[in-house]
Amino acid sequence: MHSILQGVWEGLRLIFTGDPQTYEIALRSLEVSTSALAIALLIGVPIGALVGLSQFHGRQFVVASLNTGMGMPRVVVGLVVALFLWRTGPLGFLGIMYTMQAMIIAQVLIATPIVAALCVAALQQLDPGFKLQVTSLGAGRMRTFALLMREIKGPLLAATAAAFGGVIAEVGAVMMVGGNIKGQTEVLTTGIVANVNTGLFGSAIALAVVLLILSFSTNFAMLLLQRRPKRQAG
């Protein structure tokens, strides 16, 4: 009990005294995860829109694959990325194993299916009349896409939050491809694991508190953004 209290105290002290190492790790976490999220949105939203708005052969298969991808064990993603980036792997020549780029790639692979699958689900929830109405107004493909994305703004924000939550709290994949190198690839989650392993509970708790604050504020901000009523009278 004593050591727990001591750990919490130490954690809070590190945060409030502005411990440079804690903040460096937190910022690196944010950098990796927001980069991954941005790329995932750029890839995932168009995929989601394409799958959600068009009819093609094998569409159900694609939807099922995206849903599977959403729940893919992160360690498996880490393993696949590691196999590719390993010195002798197909992408080994890039030499980015154990770098932030490798961690971003892993997180993109985790976040993209989440964004795409939730985007498909949101478009399936949307009354098909909207697509018909927008098309009848003379919109081409791109314009239809843009106008309908605005209609599912709320669910898209929720998808963004879910994807961000998924990657910022992820530990297995980034550990595997980042290697948790102090000062280079150590992020909040891997830092917690490493600190616990070496008995540095104070540092672990400090990082955990920062992680919780980050997750909470992201979700709270998203909640505020999508609070507007969506339903139409009549």
Q: Interface residues with other proteins (CB under 8 A)?
A: 127, 129-130, 132-140, 143, 147, 150-151, 153, 228-234
CA 129 to chain centre: 32
Minimum Å gap between C-beta 220 and other proteins is: 22
Q: Which is nearer to other proteins, 39 or 134 (CB)?
A: 134
Minimum Å gap between C-beta 92 and other proteins is: 45
Token pair recorded at residue 27: 């910022």
Q: Which is nearer to other proteins, 1 or 233 (CB)?
A: 233
Q: Which is nearer to other proteins, 13 or 143 (CB)?
A: 143
Minimum Å gap between C-beta 231 and other proteins is: 7
The residue among 9, 2, 11 whose CA lies nearest residue 203 is: 11
For residue 108, how many other CB atoms are within 10 A of its CB?
Answer: 22
Minimum Å gap between C-beta 135 and other proteins is: 6
Q: What is the largest CA-CA distance in the chain?
A: 70
For residue 20, how many other CB atoms are within 10 A of its CB?
Answer: 9
Q: Which is nearer to other proteins, 18 or 234 (CB)?
A: 234
Contacts of residues 86-89 at CB distance under 8 Å and 24 or more positions apart, as own/partner, are: none
